[in-house]
Amino acid sequence: MDKRPIGVFDSGLGGLTAVRELRRILPGEDIVYFGDTGRVPYGTRSRETILQYTRQDLGFLLSRDVKFIMAACGTVSSTYPAEEAARLPVPFLGVVEAACKAAAAATRTGHIGVVGTPATIRSGSYARLLEQLMPGVQITARPCALFVPLVENGRVQPGDPVTTLVAHDYLDEVRDAGVDTLIMGCTHYPLLEPFIREVMGPDVTLIDPGRVTAAAARETLERLELSSGRSEGGTAEYFVSDTAESFDAAAHLFLGRYAGGPVTQVPIETW
């Protein structure tokens, strides 16, 4: 048994969808979340900048004595080198591997769509892993640069005309390509699932990276004997790089009934 917290981070608040799933399936675990709200989004940054930010985020979480780190960010998971992750003092899990495995299991036709930030799609990380898991897989990928800003600005209410227009602009060609499974390759995107579902139709399986990665985290904790051993009573503590006041309204949107817990602003550039 290990009572230390799980560390989770994202470029903004989208990773809270992964926290919501962790709190649902691991109610006895403590969680420390860092959202880099002052520098969101990562998806339009250069690889060098993303790596710099990622190392600072990791440094902060490690200072909180976490036992396990989840990068609840498709951009980071697509960019951070596996060999560097392997040198961290605690296990590290990104969203790409879990999402690809779930998509490979779900597809009926072998034609999988991937949407994500420009950096995620540019990296080709989802395509490479899918091709390893399913030789001969057909992949249709599309960068969706505006999805994260839309979520961060609260444009998620069903029927929002701006988000509806953007969703069609990005996804019509993905739908028309004939995919039967779509990886929502950013933890912000599940907040746009009603819009994505409307465009893609009822027969396309949508893969929520936060949900499947939380399930993979539970398996890893159990396998490595890092579970807290508690069945309830876990807490959550939140840190952001921008003002903490802006977190409260967003927390209810992302966390639902799991909202609650102290929020602290930290100077992430010092880590």
Q: Which residues are catalytic?
A: 73, 186
Q: Where are the beta strands (DSSP E) in the chain?
A: 6-10, 31-35, 68-71, 92-94, 111-116, 138-143, 181-184, 205-207, 236-240, 263-265
Paired sense of beta strands 181-184 and 138-143, if any: unpaired
Q: How far apart are CA 204 and CA 207, in angstroms?
A: 10
**Edge-to-edge strand list for the sheet holding 205-207:** 138-143, 111-116, 181-184, 205-207
